[in-house]
Amino acid sequence: MDLPKIYDFGSGELVELKHLEKTFNISRRIALKYLKVLRIQPLYIGDEIFFSLPTFNRIMFVLSRPGSPGFIFPGSKAKQNQKLREKGFLIRVTDEILREAQSPRILAEMAAASGRNDAMVKKLLAHPTSAEAKK
């Protein structure tokens, strides 16, 4: 079995692009398009392409939680469905979604959803981001 490489440099895992290819059963070209519409910059190391899994997870969490507008990924049959676009489904991550994915509140929600320690959730919620502190 050809598993994707995963490296943890202390600030989160870098995972090989192959992770997206295998997970979603898509081509390398489409996997790169996924990163592009999610606004995640790939890292080219030697012959391999990597991306930040924590960044991917945070953006996916924001896109998939209740109240989100919905998202149409590259290569999806739904991309041709005009009714979905009229309903507000996104085809690219907006600045607002990126800001939301960066917020400690999202980390707290993710931690709470995964059943992690309450103390960590409270700490994340108690510390504003630098952008929030400037307001």
> Domain residues of the chain, as ranges?
14-126
The answer to whether 6 and 16 have CB atoms below 8 angstroms apart is yes
Query: Residue 31 pLDDT > 70, yes or no?
Result: yes
User: Rounded to 10 degrees, what is the CA torsion of 2, 63, 75, 77?
Assistant: 130
What predicted TM-score, i.e. pTM, was given to this entire model? Answer: 0.75
Percent of the chain with pLDDT over 70: 77
* pLDDT score of 118: 61
* pLDDT score of 126: 64
Confidence grade of residue 57 (pLDDT, cut at 50, 70, 90): very high
Find the angle CA(57)-CA(63)-CA(66) to the nearest 5 degrees.
Answer: 115
**pLDDT tens-digit readout, 79-122:** 888 888 888 888 889 999 999 999 888 888 888 887 765 665 56
Angle, helix 28-38 to helix 53-64, in steps of 10 degrees: 70
